[in-house]
Structure 1
Amino acid sequence: MATESAGVDLPAIVTLLGAAVVAVPLFKRAGLGSVLGYLAAGLAIGPFGLGLFSDPMAILHVAELGVVMFLFIIGLEMQPSRLWAMRRDIFGLGLVQVLVCMALLSLVGLGLGYPFAPSLVAGTGFVLTSTAIVMQMLEERGDLSAPKGQRIVSILLLEDLAIVPLLALVAFLAPGAADVTLADRALGIGMGLAAIAVLILAGRYLINPVFSVLAGAKAREVMTAAALLIVLGAALWMQLGGLSAAMGAFLAGVLLSESTYRHQLEADVEPFRGLLLGLFFLAVGMALDLSVVAANWRLILISVVALTALKMLAIYSVARLFRASHREAVERLVLMAQGGEFAFVLYAAALSVGLINAEENATLTAVIIISMVMTPLFVLAHDRLMPKPLAATDGLPMPEDDGASVLLIGFGRFGQVVSQPLFASGYKVSIIDIDTEMIATATGMGFKVYFGDGTRLDILHAAGATHARAIIICIDNQGAATRIAHLLRDECPLIPVFARSFDRRHSIDLIKAGVEVPIRETYESALLLGGNLLRHFGLEEERVSETLNDVRLRDADRFALQLAGDIYSGRDLLRVDAGLAVENSG
């Protein structure tokens, strides 16, 4: 599209957004999923549809940042201890699947009469599953945290790691590769390891102090810029070290998974991740060159069928070898049968060193894209033929819920006291607070408190509000507490919300906002002080208890009356509160 305004191609932006807004809801309503909607929209507006875009690869290069940010978000959910627990699946299951698929898929090129090196590269590119498509579908299906979903994530991680030795393999197979010395290869490996070491040190010792300074400045846009800087900086650093940008973003996420600012980072990056990932799928749809498909349709058809069938066979066999159930093995092969975005990188490298020519590169790219387009259809067919059972545990215990039992918002003097019986009873508590000094103090006391503004819906989502068993609002800002209660009522109405209130008026506002139990911050402590005075004056313990209970009952009756009709003004409420003590003292 050529029309521009002030240097910004507004028609192109409007077209991309419009295509997504129209296509995705229609495809989701039809049960075909959002991924197929994006792919179809991209094909429709691309050079081989309506022709509104002429260079889809330029958009694809930008949109690959969506994959990078997606892996960063996944990394934030993967604490090092959890990643270590997955090591058998990553380096056992993942490695075996990659090697078996490479061996089988290379046979397709050999069978079609191509030399060994191009056949190996072509088959290896198809081995690399689309992380973007599979992760998006796991998320939509709610399987990302299930054991079967975690095993797929492990395989995807190994495939992302494998891009580095596979690129080295391409360089080794290239004409003239014998000129590359052992010292050159050792230097490349050393640079990669050095890049990882620097990133680990920066994540451990540098990022938290920097974010502490930025949070103290209370400039939200700077925090967002810093979050993007971390993701893209880590990706660029790993690229400079000869590794995968997506792997760099994932590693940065893992390093920050236990950071105080984890929820803030996730909330800031999430909107960009969603937009860029959608743009990635649009660009993939646009990049499907129908002229290449038309000119080589027999070769492409044979390649897609043979590569997909052999990859499915390899995935199923490896899954069963590692004792997966038949249902899980079938679901895995359906989700992972396609080629992935890293195949484009591998084929481009093979083209640059002369292993394949331009026409072969275009043909292989078309094969990958068609396989991507077919994946949502495979999943749809699978779900129709093998509907999900009511209890989809497949004989395996479900993992411990990573979401907190309780989300506590505000860790001041009130929140700290509230948390103590919860911790003492063994409940898992996720705590967010916006006061950096309080966070530093709590961290020094051994508490894990995350930085986050509870009045932001994205922060509440990142902190696990929609998965919590209960939420407690303990902040001392009345207006902010009421706003949080309104957000929670609209977003997660089935989760009970408890709150600290300032007075009776604030309690009424909180109940109207959906809070189940508001507790006035000084009420019970004042009653206890009154009870101690009665004991000092010589009243028996039984009489003291009866008096305090009578005060509570009278207060509850008045509160119910006020809540039902809200018949008192603010001044009347203060008068009623003051009158309680007078009435009961007589």
Structure 2
Amino acid sequence: MLIAVCSVAVFKRMQLPPILAYLFAGVLAGPQLLGLYSHPQEMHLLAEVGIVFLLFSLGLEFSLPKLLAMRSLVFGVGFGQMALTTGVFTLIPYLFGIPLSAAVIIGGALALSSTAIVIKQANEMGILNNRRTQLAISILLFQDLAVVPFLIAIPLLAQSGENSIALALGGALLKGIFVVALLMSIGKWVLPWVFREVAKTRTDELFVLTTILIALLAGGLTYYFGLSMALGAFLAGMMLGESQYKYQLEADIRPFRDILMGLFFITVGMQLDLTVLWDELFTIVFGVIGLMACKVVLVRICAAMVKSDSLDAWSAGFKLCQIGEFSFVIAALATTHEVLSNQQSSLIVSMGVISMALTPWLMTNSLALAKKIVTKPLSPDATSQFSQQTRLQQHVVICGFGRVGQSVARMLKMEGIPFVAIDIDPVRVQESRNAGEPVIFGDASQKDILTNASVTSAKLVLVTFDEAIKAKQVISATHQISADCDVMVRTKRDYQLESLYNAGANQVVPELQEGSLMLISQVLHYAGVPMSRILKRVRAERKGRYDHLHGFYPGETTEISYGTEDKLEFIHAVVVAEDAACIGKRLSEIDFSRMRVKVKGLRRSGTELIDPSGEAELQPHDVLVIAGKPRRVERAERKLLEDV
């Protein structure tokens, strides 16, 4: 972790992606340099959980209707790419005298691309939903399915039994159909009910634990039946992709996913054999260049078969031209069963690590490279058009969709102002969504949830719930995402006013003071005060942060709790006795700011001086009205009367 943290910090400063830093950390910590782990493959299972979480997150983006709509890409372009690329890379080593069984394994390993890098980089770049990336993801999904036959065939190729291979692959197909049907049934009928019940408990820890458990159980089930763990996690995520918990699930899984994905890339870096890299440097470099160029062309050919846009096809090809993480798994298994030699396996791993290291740059520049090949203008992207139509601009994000939030939403709707609400109550979210309200289930203090509510383009974030700690977290998260977005906070009472302003709120509306202000404006109106003067008074009070409305005279019915005793503001009348220490002193001579109280008024001989000047000299029998927190008021009174 120390090496990874330092590497990521240095690489980020050099404007390089974190994936390269993880690969570098792996090479550094590997058995041939620092030697922290002599057997890095022992960490592989834990690291593979990162891919499980990654595919679970991807599944949340690809609901079943969306996947069915993409079936021509998955089973058309995906199948074509896998079959054609495997055939080409099987033929090349076979012509160089490598046995057919080994050549098939090499061809399959080289045909695979890196799901982990492509999806992670696409997610970070915000291009997951455009047509070019979805073409690449369709191919990756089929590749993940195609890994299964290879893992089954490798042990059988060592036995050279063609009949047993056919039987094993047929059995794997039947098991795969059964597991997929089982997971889809559970995802459709059981998981929504589970998360609905968990959400009702309002326990964040339970929701996070359930999310992790579901992802691991789904991956474990497919692993038990001899399929890929990532496939099970993807199916589970896909079943939950249509639920209202989608964004919260993604936010909860993200920290674990990112940490374990980092570990996965470190284990990839550890597998780089520096001896083989040095001895076969020319072969590896030439092989990487030839491999990547060939894969780009083959993806373009396969995409042409289903009449995909040429620009999209070339761009997808540049995204998928590396060797995938499952290639290492296939190479390791083939070496164990002596289908491949150690030398051949090391060459595949070395080429894979180098091609992975080049991928972030290729991902960033894939469209620019494609435009150099295709001279025609960029065709409108259907997904981009859809996202542009639905993307909110200059809208209001309402955090908390209770009575206050709903009242605000109705008024915004009447004025034609767009809004999106965030709420953690599953029943309320379900009811609101059924009525067509734009409500997201989730914790509004999490940056991922705010991002999904398009805070970056929002005009205002309104916090309607009366939880000061949570409100401060929302303020902080909002300003981390968008420094220009204003945050307005509603609070019931005024004792949290200053702390919320200090936390970065642009406007704090204390419900009690606003209610009083509305009542005062009505009273003044009925008393004959002109409306223009009333509005001026109201504006002045709001601008002065309700200065004249703070504080109250306590009584025996005043409730003071442990949480509010240092937050309430009391008003207290101090009667200046004949022997009081403050007699003869001007108000300007008394350091009220040090006592942290304010002078609200001075009464003398039945006459009240509101906001008395600093030159007023205290006399016996004066009544000084001060305001402040209870303990400060007590200390100030002792100081005025006894000078202690």
Q: Which residue is equivalent to 1:214?
A: 198
Unaligned runs of 5+ in 2: 554-568, 572-644
What amino acid is the match of 2:27?
Answer: L
Offset of 1:555 from its aligned partner?
A: 0.5
The worse-fitting range, judged by mean Cα deviation, of 404-413 and 271-280 is 404-413
Q: Which residue of structure 2 aligns with residue 5 of structure 1?
A: none
* Pair 1:76-2:66 in alignment: no
Partner of 2:298: 314
2:252 corresponds in structure 1 to 268
Q: Provide Cα deviations, 1:327-367, integer angstroms capped at 9, x if missing partner.
A: x5554333322100111233344445553344433333333
Matches within 5 A, 1:318-397: 318=302, 322-326=307-311, 331-351=315-335, 355-376=339-360, 394-397=378-381
User: Once structures 1 and 2 are overlaid, which stretch shifts more, 120-129 or 135-144?
Assistant: 135-144
Tell me which moved more, 80-89 or 546-555.
Answer: 546-555
Q: 1:99 and 2:83 equivalent? A: yes
Give TM-score, length-normalised by structure 1. 0.79
The aligned residue for residue 178 of structure 1 is 162
Taking the aligned partners of 2:167 and 2:153, their CA distance within structure 1 comes to 16
Counterparts of 1:155 and 1:41 in 2: how far apart (Å)?
Answer: 29
State the alpha-carbon separation in 2 of the partners of residues 255 and 430 from structure 1: 24
Deviation, structure 1 residue 453: 2.9
In the alignment, the residues of structure 1 paired with residue 231 and residue 194 of structure 2 have an alpha-carbon distance, to the nearest angstrom, of: 23
Aligned residue pairs total: 546
Q: Aligned letter for 2:407?
A: V
Closer, same or farther in 2 for the Cα pair 1:174/1:36, shift >3 Å? same
Q: Deviations over 1:438-494 (max 9, x none)?
A: 345546656575443333445545655446564332223355334423432344222
| Structure 1 residues 382 and 255: CA distance shift in structure 2, 3 A | closer
Offset of 1:164 from its aligned partner? 2.9
Q: Sort the Cα spacing of 1:490 and 1:548 in 2 relative to 1 into closer, same or farther, 3 A.
A: farther
Whole-Å separation in 2 of the counterparts to 1:521 and 1:334: 57
Q: Would you say the 8 A contact 1:478–1:502 is kept in 2? A: no
Q: 1:478 to 1:348 in 2, by over 3 A?
A: closer
Matched, 1:553 2:511: no
Displacement after TM superposition at 1:232 (Å) = 0.9
1:407 partner letter: V
Match of 1:277 in 2: 261
Alpha-carbon separation, structure 1, partners of 2:73 and 2:148 = 19
The answer on 1:20 being equivalent to 2:4 is yes
Q: Which amino acid aligns with 2:534?
A: V
Preserved CA contact (<8 Å) 1:105 1:311: no
Report the alpha carbon displacement of residue 298 of structure 1 after superposing the two structures with TM.
Answer: 5.7
Q: Which has the higher contact order (CA 8 A, sep 6+)?
A: 1
Following superposition, the deviation at residue 301 of structure 1 comes to 4.6
Q: Identify the match of residue 148 of structure 2 among 154, 164, 177.
A: 164
Q: Specify the alignment match of 1:583 in structure 2.
A: none
- SS in structure 2 at match of 1:408: strand
What amino acid does structure 2 have at the position aligned with 1:481?
A
Moved more, 411-420 or 427-436: 427-436
Q: Report the equivalent of 1:582.
A: none
Q: Distance in 1 between matches of 2:139 and 2:418?
A: 30
Give the 3 Å change call, closer, same or farther, for CA 503–367 of structure 1 in structure 2: same
Shift of 1:507: 6.6
Aligned partner of residue 400 in structure 1, secondary structure: helix
Give the secondary-structure state (helix, strand or coil) at the position aligned to 1:214.
helix
Q: Percent same amino acid at aligned positions?
A: 31
What SS does the corresponding residue of 2:128 show, helix, strand or coil?
coil
Of 280, 283, 287, which residue of structure 1 is paired with 2:271?
Answer: 287
Judging changes above 3 Å, is the alpha-carbon distance between structure 1 residues 45 and 454 closer, same or farther for their aligned structure 2 residues?
same
The aligned counterpart of 1:411 is 401
Distance 2:365 2:251 in 1: 34
* Closer, same or farther: CA 551–80 of 1 in aligned 2, 3 Å: farther
Contact 1:312 1:333 in 2 (8 A): yes
Relative distance call for 1:299 and 1:118 in structure 2 (3 A) is farther
Tell me which residue corresponds to 1:14: none
After TM superposition, give the deviation of residue 556 of structure 1 in Å.
Answer: 1.0
Larger radius of gyration: 2
Residue 453 of structure 1 aligns with an amino acid whose one-letter code is D
Asked if 1:121 is matched to 2:105, the reply is yes
Partner amino acid for 2:386? E
* Of 506-515 and 305-314, the range deviating more from structure 2: 506-515
Letter in 2 for 1:400: F
SS at the partner of 2:461? strand
1:286 Cα deviation after fit: 1.0
Shift of 1:434: 2.8
The answer as to whether partners of 1:146 and 1:399 remain within 8 angstroms in 2 is no
Moved more, 172-181 or 421-430: 421-430
Kept in 2: contact 1:108–1:303 (CA 8 A): no
Given the superposition, is the C-alpha separation of residues 88 and 270 from structure 1 closer, same or farther in structure 2, using an over 3 Å criterion? same
Task: Quote the Cα distance in structure 1 between the aligned partners of 2:429 and 2:72.
Answer: 36
Structure 1 position 197 matched with structure 2 position 187: no
Residues 396, 125 of structure 1: alpha-carbon distance in 2 compared, 3 angstrom cutoff = same
Q: 2:386 aligns with which of 400, 415, 424?
A: 400
Q: CA RMSD in A?
A: 4.0
Q: CA deviation at 1:230?
A: 1.0
- Map of 2:25 onto structure 1: 41
Map of 1:227 onto structure 2: 211
Distance 2:505 2:51 in 1: 39
Q: Distance in 1 between matches of 2:213 and 2:91?
A: 43
Aligned mate of 2:478, from 477, 480, 488: 488
Task: Report what 2:445 is aligned to.
Answer: 455
TM-score for the superposition, normalised by structure 2: 0.73
Please tell me the residue identity of whatever aligns with 2:537: R
Cα separation, 1, equivalents of 2:281 and 2:411: 68
Q: Partner letter of residue 48 of structure 2? A: E
Q: Which residue of structure 2 lines up, in the alignment, with residue 29 of structure 1?
A: 13
Matches within 5 A, 1:300-311: 300-311=284-295
Tell me the alpha carbon deviations over residues 472-522 of structure 1, each in whole angstroms, 9 at most, x when there is no partner. 322233553344234323442223434444366767765665545656658
d(CA) in 2 for partners of 1:181, 1:93:
26
1:104/1:310 contact within 8 Å kept: no
Residue pair 2:444, 2:474 contacting (<8 A) in 1 also: yes
Structure 1 pair 568–519 and aligned structure 2 pair: CA distance change class (3 A): closer
Pick closer, same or farther for the CA change 1:184–1:107 going to 2, 3 Å: closer
What SS does the aligned partner of 2:37 have?
coil
